[in-house]
Amino acid sequence: MKEEKINEETTETEKEAIKEEAETTAKADEKKPEKKQKSKKDSLIEKAEQLSKQIEEQKDLYLRLRAEYDNFRKRSQKEKEDVHTTARADVIKNLLPVLDNFERAAGNTDASFEDYRKGMEMIYTQFLDILEKTGVESFGEAGDKFDPNMHNAVMHIESEDFGENEIAQVFQKGYKIGNTVVRFATVQVAN
């Protein structure tokens, strides 16, 4: 009977041990999903932090790019203004010798009419040379065909001496630089 009692006690002890082990395992299993959940939460937090960091980097990049563009725009505007100023200065620099010659001619009171006339012709030639060097061409000669894109017709005449739409008389020459008309020629056109 003693043996039976020992077996019963062992069995009950074993049962309790198995029960405790099952409880421990169950508790451990319960804790494992929490750890998994915590690790999922941690990974989501890490991903959110990484995304936030990337957003901040992109924001910084955008702000830098925006500042660079603003600087480029301001620099381009200043360069454009400088080009206009330089171009005007170059034209004026080329015209100043003509002005000097006009002043000399006006100040020369002892010159004869022929000398004065010769001086004016020289100044006129000098001025035409300056226009030619800067790429300015004159147009609008009598006998040319009328072009409404280059000529401004202020009068029409009926004449057999000229053909249809031919310039009969030029009141004011036109000037152009390349294909850009600086001033339209004012003309009389024959019908």
Span 123-160, pLDDT tens digits: 999 999 999 998 999 998 988 999 999 999 999 988 88
Alpha helix segments (H runs only) across the chain: 2-107, 113-133
177's tokens: 């630089």
Residue 108 has what pLDDT?
A: 87
Distance CA 140, CA 171 (A): 9
Residue 62 has what pLDDT?
A: 96
Tell me the one-letter amino acid at 5.
Answer: K
Residue 2 has what pLDDT?
A: 47
Distance CA 145, CA 181 (A): 17
Q: Is 99 exposed, middle or buried (0-12, 13-18, 19+ CB in 10 A)?
A: exposed
Residue 8 has what pLDDT?
A: 52
Residue 127 has what pLDDT?
A: 93
Residue 42 has what pLDDT?
A: 85
- Percent share of the chain, pLDDT over 90: 57
Residue 114 has what pLDDT?
A: 92
Q: Which residues of the chain have pLDDT under 50?
A: 1-7
Residue 139 has what pLDDT?
A: 92
Classify 40 as helix, strand or coil: helix
Neighbours of 136 (CB within 10 A): 16
Angle of CA points 131, 132, 137, to nearest 5°: 85
13's tokens: 């002890």
Query: What fold characterizes domain 30-134?
Result: Hemagglutinin Ectodomain; Chain B (3.90.20)
pTM greater than 0.75:
no
136's tokens: 């300015």
Domain range 137-191, its CATH number among 2.30.22.10, 3.20.20.370, 3.30.930.10, 2.60.120.10: 2.30.22.10
Which sequence spans correspond to the domains of the chain?
30-134, 137-191
